[in-house]
Structure 1
Amino acid sequence: MAEIRIRNTDERIQGEENVRAFLENQEVLYEHWNPGKLAPELQEKFVLSDEEKAQILSTFEEEIRDLAGRRGYQTWDLIALSDATPNLDELLKKFEQVHTHTEDEVRAITAGRGIFIIKGTDDVGYFDVELEAGDVISVPEHKPHFFTLMDNRQIVAVRLFIETEGWIAHPFEDASFQKA
């Protein structure tokens, strides 16, 4: 289940309804899918063949199509990252820059853990959304954020897009942002 840490106060928000309510106030969509639907052998696997990726997408097809239909997403894919990913550290450096997009950035976590760092309202400031299998989040277009891995450095996630080319990051310079 997702957990939130507000960076300015170190306050933690836990529990699905509390997380959902907080994120809704920050204009961020949060949902939860049943990660137990996934075949046990894929629940902790982070290096995937094309067939295994297709199996994961097929397992969550109903949820993906429902979300896509409600939010206008046209295409989706699956990303798997771990220490076995070539050039992982360079890839993470690219991710770990505050930026915006001209469409929502969506992640549905099917295995592992990840974290979105999001710029909230002025009274909240930046906050971390720690995600695990089953958590689904959509950061709205133009909202400053970035996504990275947790300490375990393993994740598998469905990404949904409106534009078929995927996201284009637009750097967001913010003197108030400090890395944790």
Structure 2
Amino acid sequence: MAEIRIRNTEERISGEENVREFLSKQEVLYEHWDASKLPQELQDKFVLSDEEKSQILDTFETEIKDLAARRGYRTWDVIALSDATPNLDELLKKFENVHTHTEDEVRAITAGRGIFIIKGTDDVGYFDVELEAGDVISVPEHKPHFFTLMENRQIVAVRLFIETEGWIAHPFSDPAFQKQQ
């Protein structure tokens, strides 16, 4: 289940309803899918064949199509990252810069853990959303954020897009942002 850490105050928010309420006030969509419906052999697998990625999409087809219909997403895929991913550290450096997009950035976590760092309202500042299997998040277009892996460095996620070529990151320079460990 997702947990939030507000960076300015170190306050933590947990519990599905509390997380959903907080994120809703920040204009971020949060939902939870039943990750246990994924076949056991894929629940802790982070190097996937195309066939296994298709199996994940098939498993969550109802949820994906429901979310796509509600939010206008037209295409989706599966991304898997782990220490076995070629050039993982270089890839993460690209992710770990605050940026915006001209469409939502959506992740439905099916295995592993990841974290979105998002710029909230002025009274909140930056906050971390720690995600695990079953968590679904949509960071709205133009909202400064970035995504990275947590200490386990393993994640599998369904990504949904409006634009069929996927999103493009637009760097966001913010002197108020401080990287934290």
Q: Deviations over 1:33-54 (max 9, x none)?
A: 0000000000000000111000
Aligned position for 2:11 = 11
Aligned position for 1:43 = 43
Aligned position for 1:65 = 65
**TM-score, normalization: structure 2?**
0.99
Q: 4+ runs of 1 displaced by more than 6 Å?
A: none
Aligned position for 1:28 = 28
Name stretches of at least 5 consecutive residues in structure 2 with no aligned partner: none
1: distance between equivalents of 2:178 and 2:29? 24
Aligned residues: 180
2: distance between equivalents of 1:93 and 1:70? 32
**1:113: Cα distance to partner?**
0.2
2: distance between equivalents of 1:175 and 1:30? 28
SS in 1 for 2:63: helix
Aligned position for 1:161 = 161
1: distance between equivalents of 2:36 and 2:158? 16
**1:94: Cα distance to partner?**
0.1
Question: CA-atom RMSD, angstroms?
Answer: 0.2
User: What letter corresponds to residue 166 of structure 1 in structure 2?
Assistant: G
Name stretches of at least 5 consecutive residues in structure 1 with no aligned partner: none
2: distance between equivalents of 1:77 and 1:54? 9
SS in 2 for 1:86: coil
**1:174 and 2:178 are equivalent in the alignment:** no
User: What letter corresponds to residue 3 of structure 1 in structure 2?
Assistant: E
SS in 2 for 1:67: helix
User: What letter corresponds to residue 134 of structure 2 in structure 1?
Assistant: G
User: What letter corresponds to residue 127 of structure 1 in structure 2?
Assistant: F
Q: Percent of pairs identical after alignment?
A: 87
**TM-score, normalization: structure 1?**
1.00
1: distance between equivalents of 2:100 and 2:79? 20
1: distance between equivalents of 2:174 and 2:34? 36
User: What letter corresponds to residue 102 of structure 1 in structure 2?
Assistant: T
Q: Deviations over 1:140-174 (max 9, x none)?
A: 00000000000000000000000001010000000
**1:21: Cα distance to partner?**
0.1
Aligned position for 1:123 = 123
2: distance between equivalents of 1:145 and 1:56? 26
